[in-house]
Copies of this chain bind each other. A is one copy, B any other.
Amino acid sequence: MNTPLIEQPIKTKTDKRQAILDTALALFVSQGFHGTSTASIAKQAGVATGTLFHHFPSKEALMECLFLTIKQEFANALLLNAHQGSKLKHNVKQLWQSALDWSLENPIKQLFFQQYSMSPMIAKNVRDQAMNSILGFISELIKQGQMMGLIAHYPVELMLENCHGQYLAATRFFIDNPHLGHNSQYRNASFELFWKAMQAD
């Protein structure tokens, strides 16, 4: 980036759209969806109110886009680090760590999930779609583990919901206690709790 003679804040078109998304994320998390006016998003993003509606047909659509974008980001982070080693437990632990890492590196986005993953703010079909695309992958892992005799034989849907619940609980804990986020005792404990629930006896 070379220093221009005169500092000019130039925003490309993509920048504006992204600025709106970034600002919306921050405000939705800190003030809630209804507590955040479209005017305040636009203002803080440095664009006109009309611009928001040029890029997103409605406030709800903006929220939906935000949700799907972040979910995808999370899914990418998980898959990127997923090793297909021969030891299932090791693979699962890797996954768990990646998920924890992502949430610690993106605390705002994680808070966004905590608040909106189950809220009626986001249309049920969008929620389910996003969820299934990730949990579908976990679902396969569980079935595979059961066939190998490494994972307990409980109904898969129940186990999936349980995985999700334990993951949300763990991130909630680490975000409320950020100084423990890299404490291996706590991180291992969180995984062990999870794994003990899942493993075959």
The interface of chain A, by Cβ under 8 A from chain B, is 31-35, 114-115, 118-121, 152, 154-155, 157-159, 161-162, 164-170, 172-173, 177, 185-186, 189-190, 192-194, 196-199, 201
Contact, CB under 8 Å: B118 / A189: no
**What B residues does A154 contact at CB under 8 A?**
189, 192-193
A155 lies within 8 A of B197 (CB):
no
A170 touches B162 (CB 8 A): yes
* CB-based closest 4 A-B pairs: A165-B169, A34-B34, A197-B197, A154-B189
State the number of copies, please. Answer: 4
**Which residues on the B side are within 8 Å of A167 (C-beta)?**
165
CB closest chain-B residue, reference A33 = B34
Question: Is the pair B115, A186 in contact by a Cβ cutoff of 8 Å?
Answer: no
Residue of B nearest to A116 (CB): B119
A161 near B189: Cβ-Cβ < 8 Å = no
Task: Tell me the bound Cα distance from A34 to B36 in angstroms.
Answer: 12
In the assembled complex, 27 residue pairs joining A and B whose CB atoms fall closer than 8 Å, in A order, are A32-B119, A32-B120, A34-B34, A115-B119, A115-B120, A118-B172, A152-B193, A154-B189, A155-B185, A155-B189, A157-B173, A158-B173, A158-B190, A158-B193, A161-B170, A161-B173, A162-B169, A162-B190, A164-B169, A165-B166, A165-B167, A165-B169, A166-B166, A193-B198, A196-B199, A196-B201, A197-B197
